[in-house]
A and B are shown apart, each in its own frame.
Chain A
Amino acid sequence: MRLDFSPQEETFRREAATWLEGQLSGPFADLRTGRAHDISAPERRKEWERALGRARWSAIGWPEEYGGRNATLAEQVIFAEEYARARAPGRLGHLGIELCGPTILALGTEAQKRRFLPKMSAGEEYWCQGYSEPNAGSDLSNVRTRARLEKGPNGPEWVIEGQKTWTSLAQFADWCFLVTRTEEGSTGARGLSYLLVPMHQKGVTIRPIRQMTGEAEFNETFFDGARTAAENVVGAPGEGWKVAMATLSFERGASTLAQQMGFRNQLDAIIGAAKDNGAARDPLIRQRLAEAYAGLKIMRASSLRMLTSAQSGKLSPEAFTYKIFWATWHRKLGELAMDVLGPAGELGTAAPYELQELTKMFLFSRADTIYAGTNQVQRNIIAERALGLPKEPRGGA
């Protein structure tokens, strides 16, 4: 058990840091925000994604033929940390690179890998996740969106009908990975397929949904006779549930360390504010700041444990607890930020509804315990899969 890095790895760290510094103090200085959720300059963000792709920093863990570097786990950890340390912006391409890409790598065909991965890592194609529906949230297997195979001009095609919701970044996406029912009359986890669907077509309509923060990062997405080629299914038709679940397990990848460094920047901002306004002298605030700091260090240790054992193909117990731990930690950090800022934190910066960074974080952190499995669902998963307790009963039809 060791936490230090080898001299070669430190060389790699310098290489990454140097490149990032060059870009973010040069051509991309305007993007040096460290912000995770920012949809204000999508074209600039796409240029940044393409720059990452050209320099092969976009998906370093992938094989070289798909635009990666075959990077080791330690290198992925290092890059994620340097990325956040440099205050580089949140990745517009993350749904592809972190979720769909690894799924295709693990379960896709050779042709799918060659078709989709290079464009993903190059920042040429963007993705969104079509899982949730109005009546399928935590109970994802209740998906109603349907697809059936029909003859098309260039061979058989899936024709899709239905509605997805809460689709993040759909307005910037070229493709959607979609969980849909392909077996007539099937229910539950059976009869679902994992389709890859182009977004720029007549049958797809996107309607932004304004969030609590005032911004509209997520959308309603309607499929009315939308089409995709028959071969654009990952895994066998009808086996989509397994594929959809595999995607969720990739959410525990090395990029989580970059997220933590982003959290670190937020905590530093809170500490700075506390020192400025005197809150840092308050014994209760001190306890909470220390607790937050400790939690962040533990999060890093947990993710290194998780990633190290994942490398040898093991799912270690802390992996089950990781999502709820960080989500809850971050939600508490938001509350701490508001308590530190005091009344000043409740004032916006511009009309119609521009808020301070930490205030926005306070609001956004309320979503962390909802998406990617709510805290309640996470507890069910821990109790049932890690501790072996009885499963939740299902209601009747």
Chain B
Amino acid sequence: MQFAFTEEQDLIREAAQTFFREHGASQRVRAAMETPLGYDEGSWATMVREMGWAGIALPESVGGTGLGNVELAILQEEAGRCVQPSPFFSTVCLAAPAIRHAGTPAQQESLLGPIATGEARAALALTGAGGAPGLEGIGVTLERSGRKSRLVGEASYVVHGHAADLLVVAARSPGSRGAEGVSLIALPAGTKGVRIEKLVALDLTRPMARIRLENVEVTTTQILGEPEAAAAALTQALRLAQIALAAEQTGGAQGALETTTAYAKQRVQFGRAIGSFQAIKHRLADMMIAAEAAKSAAYYAACIADTAIGELAEAAAIAKSRCSDAFFDCAANMVQLHGGIGFTWEHDAQLYFKRARASSTLLGTPQYHRELLAQLMGLGAAS
């Protein structure tokens, strides 16, 4: 039992902090977010090619670094601290675990290899127009007849879908429900019949796309693992993604706290720094309490994911609900404690506030995760 980061993990964090000080600087984030692509290609290339971060949690057999979810959480936390936009989350935290848990060894090698080296950006097409989280929200149907299969339908909230080379599509067999009939399909974004439309998203630092599939033909080799048997793998991958997202939210909460604390020391009203008013001090203290609790939840969950002790489902639900709430509280306080400037487009408070709201919804709201937790706790069904 050593619930502290190792020296090696501290070094990873330091490297990440150095990287994001430059690549996550406010002007750079804002410039990138206004481009059609929504992120800085140079920064992305450095992250995945020079730093080798895309493969951090992937096994060495597919070209990864062979580290784990704790290391991934560190990177996510530092990225979240400056709300840096990039397809890292969609590629490394969402699509890659789906491939890893559902794919055959051969599929893993051919699909994860290019992700690990940074050649491929990927996205997970999961949630249909209805927006329900998890397997219930799948909006694409896989119609199978003999060796040929076709994808029909739409996924509407595909994070960085417009920038993906590879789509991992979650689909259901017609009329299936729950854990039954769920398949995962690897689909190059350029496949005939795939229409990708970048949407205007509340959070400009994490664009989303709508992906329409109009009778897209897929071969058996594109189906990850066995057809109609991917529910467990997808669920597992989503839990890992929730933990990685929770770590990012933790960083967001910390970033909001740091910026707001600095402002409270410098802004003077009534002849004194606003940070000397107890009403402000106590709010900042509450932000720190929330941010530290969020860190504990995220580190705990990442640790569970790596050591396979304890319940991953539970840890993911705890982390995603708590970190979502903590980030939103901190971002909301960031706006409030900045006063008028906090409401402007020009100030970064809006970026944190919107990221907080959007990431709270993404992969299930806090309420959704608490209800999951209630079921895991054995409370039975709700009335």
A390/B275 contact (C-beta < 8 A), A2-B3, A294-B370 known: yes
Chain B residues within an 8 Å CB radius of A380: 278, 281-282, 285
Tell me whether B92 is interfacial, beta carbon within 8 Å.
Answer: no
CB distance from B382 to the nearest CB of A (A): 5
CB distance from B323 to the nearest CB of A (A): 10
A3/B3 contact (C-beta < 8 A), A317-B288, A382-B285 known: yes
* B276-A302 in contact (CB<8A): no
CB distance from A263 to the nearest CB of B (A): 15
Chain A residues within an 8 Å CB radius of B4: 1, 305, 308-309, 312, 316
Chain A residues within an 8 Å CB radius of B280: 389
* B300-A3 in contact (CB<8A): yes
* A321-B292 in contact (CB<8A): yes
Tell me whether B371 is interfacial, beta carbon within 8 Å.
Answer: yes
Chain A residues within an 8 Å CB radius of B315: 297
Contact with B along A361-397 (1 / 0, CB 8 A): 0000000000000001011101110111110110000
* B275-A286 in contact (CB<8A): no
CA distance A280 to B380 in the complex (A): 8
* B380-A275 in contact (CB<8A): yes
* A290-B282 in contact (CB<8A): no
* A1-B380 in contact (CB<8A): no
Tell me whether B70 is interfacial, beta carbon within 8 Å.
Answer: yes
Tell me whether A202 is interfacial, beta carbon within 8 Å.
Answer: no
CA distance A146 to B276 in the complex (A): 34
CA distance A79 to B334 in the complex (A): 42
CA distance A181 to B40 in the complex (A): 64
Q: Of the listed stretches B41-49, B138-146, B184-192, B301-309, name the one at the interface; the rest are far from the partner chain.
A: B301-309
Tell me whether A173 is interfacial, beta carbon within 8 Å.
Answer: no
A1-49 interface with B by 8 A CB criterion: 1-5, 9
Tell me whether A271 is interfacial, beta carbon within 8 Å.
Answer: yes
Chain B residues within an 8 Å CB radius of A9: 1
CB distance from A62 to the nearest CB of B (A): 20
Contact with A along B1-35 (1 / 0, CB 8 A): 11111100100000000000000000000000000
Chain A residues within an 8 Å CB radius of B265: 388-390
CB distance from A89 to the nearest CB of B (A): 26
A314 closest partner in B (C-beta): B4
CA distance A73 to B321 in the complex (A): 30
Chain A residues within an 8 Å CB radius of B304: 3
CA distance A286 to B373 in the complex (A): 9
Count of CB-CB pairs between chains A and B under 8 Å: 178
CA distance A187 to B17 in the complex (A): 46
Tell me whether B284 is interfacial, beta carbon within 8 Å.
Answer: yes
Interface size class of A (residues with CB under 8 A): 35 or more
B249-291 interface with A by 8 A CB criterion: 257, 261, 264-265, 272-273, 275-276, 278, 280-282, 284-286, 288-289
* A2-B288 in contact (CB<8A): no
* A1-B299 in contact (CB<8A): yes
Tell me whether B377 is interfacial, beta carbon within 8 Å.
Answer: yes
CA distance A328 to B215 in the complex (A): 55
Chain B residues within an 8 Å CB radius of A339: none
* B284-A383 in contact (CB<8A): yes
Tell me whether A140 is interfacial, beta carbon within 8 Å.
Answer: no
CA distance A160 to B377 in the complex (A): 55
* B284-A389 in contact (CB<8A): yes
Tell me whether A250 is interfacial, beta carbon within 8 Å.
Answer: no
CB distance from B272 to the nearest CB of A (A): 8
* A293-B3 in contact (CB<8A): no
CA distance A293 to B60 in the complex (A): 37
**Neighbour of A290 across the interface among B257, B264, B284, B377, CB < 8 A:** B377
Tell me whether B200 is interfacial, beta carbon within 8 Å.
Answer: no
Chain B residues within an 8 Å CB radius of A325: 289, 292-293
A274-306 interface with B by 8 A CB criterion: 274-275, 280-283, 286-287, 289-291, 293-295, 297-298, 301-302, 304-305
CA distance A209 to B70 in the complex (A): 50
B281 closest partner in A (C-beta): A383
* A302-B293 in contact (CB<8A): yes
CA distance A9 to B293 in the complex (A): 27
* B1-A320 in contact (CB<8A): no
Chain A residues within an 8 Å CB radius of B285: 324, 378-380, 382-383, 387
* A301-B382 in contact (CB<8A): no
A287/B367 contact (C-beta < 8 A), A298-B293, A382-B285 known: yes
* B383-A281 in contact (CB<8A): yes
* B300-A282 in contact (CB<8A): no
CB distance from A394 to the nearest CB of B (A): 13
* B273-A390 in contact (CB<8A): yes
Tell me whether A105 is interfacial, beta carbon within 8 Å.
Answer: no
* A1-B292 in contact (CB<8A): no
Chain A residues within an 8 Å CB radius of B303: 1-3
CB distance from B375 to the nearest CB of A (A): 9
**Neighbour of B322 across the interface among A77, A298, A309, A392, CB < 8 A:** A298
CA distance A1 to B7 in the complex (A): 10
Tell me whether A51 is interfacial, beta carbon within 8 Å.
Answer: no
Tell me whether A318 is interfacial, beta carbon within 8 Å.
Answer: yes
Tell me whether B374 is interfacial, beta carbon within 8 Å.
Answer: yes
* B296-A305 in contact (CB<8A): yes
Chain A residues within an 8 Å CB radius of B306: 2
* B300-A281 in contact (CB<8A): no
* A298-B318 in contact (CB<8A): yes
Tell me whether A107 is interfacial, beta carbon within 8 Å.
Answer: no
Tell me whether A74 is interfacial, beta carbon within 8 Å.
Answer: yes
CA distance A245 to B131 in the complex (A): 53
CB distance from A4 to the nearest CB of B (A): 5
CA distance A304 to B280 in the complex (A): 30
Contact with A along B346-383 (1 / 0, CB 8 A): 00000000000000000000010011011001111111
CB distance from A172 to the nearest CB of B (A): 34
What would 8 more interface pairs be, CB under 8 Å, given A1-B5, A380-B285, A388-B265?
A2-B1, A2-B303, A290-B377, A304-B1, A320-B292, A376-B282, A380-B278, A393-B276
User: Please, could you name 14 A-B residue pairs with CB atoms under 8 Å apart, sorted by A?
Assistant: A1-B70, A3-B303, A4-B309, A5-B1, A275-B379, A287-B367, A287-B370, A294-B317, A294-B370, A297-B314, A298-B296, A380-B281, A387-B284, A387-B285
